[in-house]
Amino acid sequence: MTTFTFVHAADLHLGAPFRGLNRSLETLSPQEKSVGTTVLEATYTALERLVSVCLSAQADFLVLAGDVYDSAKGSLASRFALNKAFLTLKEHNVRVFLAHGNHDPLEEQPFPWPDNVTAFSPEVAVHSVMRGGEALALVHGVSHTSAAEGRNLARQFRRKEPSLLLPDVFQLGVLHCAVQGQAGEHAAYAPCTVQDLQEAALDYWALGHVHTRWVLRGTGTAPYAVYPGSLQGLHVNEGGVHGCTVVRVRGKKIVSALHVPIAPVVWQRVCLDAGSLQPEEEEGVVTLLQLEAFASQCLAEAHQAMQAEAAAFVEEAGLGVIPEVLVARLVLEGRTPLHKELAQKDVREDLQRQLSGQLSRFGIFVRDIRIATQPQLDFEALAARPDLVGETFRLMGEWQAEPAQLHGAWEQADEVLLKKLRKIRRYLPAVTPEEETAMAQEAHLLCLDLLEVE
Ligand SMILES: [Mn+2]
């Protein structure tokens, strides 16, 4: 039976700025600079590696499910890079199927690609992939026409019935879309349902738009639809090892659909319990120096764990590259006497600079530090006090025991807000009970800080 391979990637966002990494290269130390350069060039490096993966996997074709650029027309640099990648694939007889998405809609595309590239039109079209006179697969696809595609495009796909000229072969759909209930924070362009996908009766859906890898499986073990995720994670909420999916097919059956690491940069939240630090014997107190050493160790471990995770994917697929750089958001948690110091912006920035300077030679960059610590206080003694400090503790205690009371207090405060800021208030989202509790706790700690509790 015929076997063939195709590579599925999406959301390349070539030339995308990395949200939140606004420190320019000039302000980085020489050591940090190499990490900085890797980050700045990451989307382009990922594209080069995607081409290499297509060649080493001996892929018959590559499908790109939208958002190849970050801006509609793409910068000149991103168009040149893509054109070069397509030409390399052409030299090796690899076809490319490109379905445009909301970031790179069809109406903005000015020039044609090399002739191994098929860019889909605004209506669903079907193309066959041949090898030595034999049809391997039918590729269905459609492009977004504008930046806010409102049509349900998935419903336009339908499996082609076999004919005398064309036997029943493997059929896949290439589409940039928001599957309902799963698109999360992603805008609902080209909305559709899981049922729409299933009713098209295709063997595989090569999807794009959702930036976190997501595999949809039916009753069998092989997936019927895959979001490979952004080729390179673009910000701290796109954590994990990013890459493409390599699909091996025998006849009409998927043999494997494996995640292959491609992205040179991995984003990650690294949480650290500052409350676990014990006072040093000599000093008798917990110091920022201790915290720095602990953070440095945790970050190094996170980098190692990330590379081990990537290595497991590379080993399973026999393809891919282990990411070099970890860009971390350090989240400090727990009850610690350092809380008050850490609450100061310049202390956090110093700590961030120290850590980044120290760790950049290991490929670690600390993007920022978030404080979720609490002060270390003798809560019982404070609650027993007859003054205002004691009063805030008793009130917090009552609210914790009786959430309805907290809600009452919240509504009272909200009424005041409503009177003063009537116009603004109606644009604010409703507050959940969890948010009420979290805000009350935050307000409580702020009260204690302001009342100068040590
Ligand atoms: Mn995208």
pLDDT given at position 19 = 66
Ligand 1 center from residue 24 Cα (angstroms): 24
Ligand 1 center from residue 14 Cα (angstroms): 10
Last-in-domain residue among 261, 294, 313 = 261
Ligand 1 center from residue 410 Cα (angstroms): 39
Please say if the pLDDT value at position 238 is more than 60. yes
Token pair, residue 256, equals 């494997």
The answer to whether residues 68 and 213 belong to one domain is yes
Provide mean pLDDT across the span 69-84.
85
Q: Which position has the higher pLDDT, 383 or 84?
A: 84
Please say if the pLDDT value at position 11 is more than 70. yes
Ligand 1 center from residue 13 Cα (angstroms): 7
The answer to whether residues 101 and 59 belong to one domain is yes
Q: Which domain holds residue 140?
A: 3-261
Which range is least confidently modeled, 159-163, 236-240, 375-379?
A: 375-379
Provide mean pLDDT across the span 314-326.
96
Token pair, residue 273, equals 């319990």
Which range is least confidently modeled, 37-41, 200-204, 384-388, 449-453?
A: 449-453
The answer to whether residues 273 and 245 belong to one domain is no
The answer to whether residues 347 and 403 belong to one domain is no
Provide mean pLDDT across the span 423-448.
77
pLDDT given at position 24 = 55
Which range is least confidently modeled, 89-103, 159-173, 235-249, 424-438?
A: 424-438
Ligand 1 center from residue 64 Cα (angstroms): 12
Ligand 1 center from residue 434 Cα (angstroms): 31
Ligand 1 center from residue 314 Cα (angstroms): 24
CATH number at 182 reads 3.60.21.10
Which range is least confidently modeled, 23-27, 184-188, 282-286?
A: 23-27
Ligand 1 center from residue 312 Cα (angstroms): 26
The answer to whether residues 220 and 282 belong to one domain is no
The answer to whether residues 371 and 384 belong to one domain is no
pLDDT given at position 104 = 79
The alpha helices in 318-450, defined as continuous H runs, are 339-342, 345-359, 379-383, 388-401, 403-420, 422-425, 433-450
Provide mean pLDDT across the span 262-276.
94
Ligand 1 center from residue 403 Cα (angstroms): 41
Ligand 1 center from residue 418 Cα (angstroms): 38
Residues whose CB is less than 8 angstroms from the CB of residue 343 and which lie 6 or more positions away in sequence, other chains included: 371, 449
Ligand 1 center from residue 447 Cα (angstroms): 43
pLDDT given at position 26 = 60
Please say if the pLDDT value at position 91 is more than 60. yes
Last-in-domain residue among 261, 280, 313 = 261
Token pair, residue 288, equals 């920022």
Q: How many domains does the chain have?
A: 3
Ligand 1 center from residue 67 Cα (angstroms): 5
- Backbone dihedral region for residue 306 (phi beyond 0: left; psi -120 to 50: alpha; all else: beta): alpha
CA–CA separation, 17 vs 259, rounded Å?
25
Ligand 1 center from residue 11 Cα (angstroms): 4
Please say if the pLDDT value at position 316 is more than 80. yes
The answer to whether residues 206 and 296 belong to one domain is no
CA–CA separation, 10 vs 263, rounded Å?
12
The answer to whether residues 292 and 146 belong to one domain is no
Give the chain's mean pLDDT: 88
Comparing CA positions, the residue from 66, 59, 117, 118 lying closest to residue 258 is 59
The answer to whether residues 212 and 101 belong to one domain is yes
Last-in-domain residue among 333, 359, 376 = 376
- Which residues, in sequence order, are bridge partners of residue 366? 328
35 touches 360 (CB < 8 A): yes
Q: Which position has the higher pLDDT, 282 or 196?
A: 196
The answer to whether residues 249 and 133 belong to one domain is yes
CA–CA separation, 222 vs 106, rounded Å?
32
Q: Give the residue carrying structure tokens 């801006």.
A: 71
pLDDT-derived band of residue 23, with 50, 70 and 90 as boundaries?
Answer: low
Please say if the pLDDT value at position 99 is more than 90. yes
Ligand 1 center from residue 37 Cα (angstroms): 23
Token pair, residue 151, equals 């049509």
Residues whose CB is less than 8 angstroms from the CB of residue 415 and which lie 6 or more positions away in sequence, other chains included: none
The answer to whether residues 371 and 387 belong to one domain is no
CA–CA separation, 273 vs 373, rounded Å?
8
Ligand 1 center from residue 229 Cα (angstroms): 9
The answer to whether residues 255 and 308 belong to one domain is no
Ligand 1 center from residue 380 Cα (angstroms): 51
DSSP-based three-state secondary structure for 39: helix
pLDDT given at position 408 = 87
pLDDT given at position 183 = 54
Ligand 1 center from residue 145 Cα (angstroms): 15
Ligand 1 center from residue 446 Cα (angstroms): 39
β-strand pairing of 170-176 with 134-141: parallel
Ligand 1 center from residue 2 Cα (angstroms): 34
Tens digit of pLDDT for each residue in 323-337? 999 999 999 999 888
Please say if the pLDDT value at position 110 is more than 70. no
336 touches 286 (CB < 8 A): yes
pLDDT given at position 329 = 93
Comparing CA positions, the residue from 105, 101, 109, 313 lying closest to residue 207 is 101
pLDDT given at position 257 = 94
Which range is least confidently modeled, 1-5, 209-213, 397-401?
A: 397-401
